[in-house]
């Protein structure tokens, strides 16, 4: 049974599934859809064309679905889609999309957004992502699955972060981060593979050894990065994890990547 506090303002046009809870002084706009079992604590604003998936929980003073923080935005119809089983803590902000980014911001399932973290317009966030306190995702970012971002980190607009990557706290990430990589610092540099995270997620010794071997080739001193990517693709063609890195690097050659050295290779 839906439970709406008497002080909450829920627009009659909003679509609420069963077992939705809306706490004191929260506001739910007319174009909002709340899935089954969504729980909204006090003083939350959910507005715009926004969909919140089942069993997602939103804590006080979060602002979800407001217009994008983009000076080029002219009121075009855009939306925010948030998946299921997410935890959205206090003061988190998530904005809808813009015409320049496909008019959609999208968050996956089973993510945790800790206090005061921000998901910018037109950003795509995968599943099982953890954003610690005060993490900032600029517009048009693409964050893969199982990514962990440490507190206070900032991700530059249009950056891509591959699956299973780890971003160290207070890092300033202006270039793309390969799948399985770990980056640290301002500006962030690649510091190896996210071995601890991979072990926690059940990667066996063979898979990790393959990734280590590919990493050594990719970031060796010989030749160009393009040549080394081709060499890894040939040597590890049967290794799905390694080929995920190869495909990531080949997908957008206009972007620089985080490397272990000061100079970033295109």
Return the number of other C-beta atoms located less than 10 Å from residue 161's C-beta.
Answer: 28
Q: Choosing from 108, 120, 126, 139, which is the catalytic residue?
A: 139
Any catalytic annotation for residue 139? yes
Q: Percent helix, strand and coil across the chain, each rounded to 5?
A: 15, 30, 55
Left if phi > 0, otherwise alpha if psi is -120 to 50, otherwise beta: which for 66? beta
CA distances from 219 to 65, 77, 81, 184, 208 (A): 41, 44, 37, 16, 17
Any catalytic annotation for residue 47? no
Decide: 143 and 120 in contact? Cβ < 8 Å: no
Q: Choosing from 41, 121, 140, 146, which is the catalytic residue?
A: 121
Closest CA to 205 of 195, 214, 218: 195
Q: Choosing from 47, 70, 122, 241, which is the catalytic residue?
A: 122
Closest CA to 64 of 76, 79, 75, 54: 79
What are 38's two structure tokens?
Answer: 């969504």
**Catalytic residue ranges:** 121-122, 139
């Amino acid at each position: 049974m839906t439970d709406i506090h008497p002080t909450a303002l829920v627009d009659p046009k909003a679509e609420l599934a069963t077992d939705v809870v809306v706490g004191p002084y929260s506001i739910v706009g007319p174009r909002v859809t709340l899935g089954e079992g969504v729980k909204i604590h006090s003083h939350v604003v959910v507005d715009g064309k926004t969909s919140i998936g089942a069993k997602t929980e939103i804590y006080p003073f979060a602002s979800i679905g407001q217009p994008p923080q983009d000076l080029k935005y002219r009121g075009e119809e855009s939306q925010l889609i948030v998946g299921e089983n997410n935890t959205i803590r206090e003061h988190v902000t998530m904005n809808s999309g813009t015409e320049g980014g496909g008019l959609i911001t999208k968050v996956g399932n089973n993510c945790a957004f800790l206090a005061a973290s921000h998901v910018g317009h037109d950003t795509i966030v995968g599943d099982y992502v953890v954003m610690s306190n005060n993490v900032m995702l600029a517009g048009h970012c693409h964050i893969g699955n199982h990514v962990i971002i440490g507190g206070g980190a900032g991700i530059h607009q249009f950056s891509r972060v591959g699956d299973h990557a780890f971003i160290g706290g207070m890092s300033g990430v202006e270039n793309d981060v390969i799948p399985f990589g770990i980056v640290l610092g301002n500006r962030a540099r690649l510091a190896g593979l996210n071995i601890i995270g991979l072990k926690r997620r059940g990667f066996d010794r063979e898979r990790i050894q393959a990734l280590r071997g590919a990493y050594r080739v990719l970031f060796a001193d010989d030749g160009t990065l393009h040549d080394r990517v081709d060499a890894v693709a040939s040597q590890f063609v049967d290794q799905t994890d390694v080929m995920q890195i190869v495909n990531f690097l080949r997908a957008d050659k206009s972007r620089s990547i985080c490397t272990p050295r000061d100079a970033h290779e295109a």
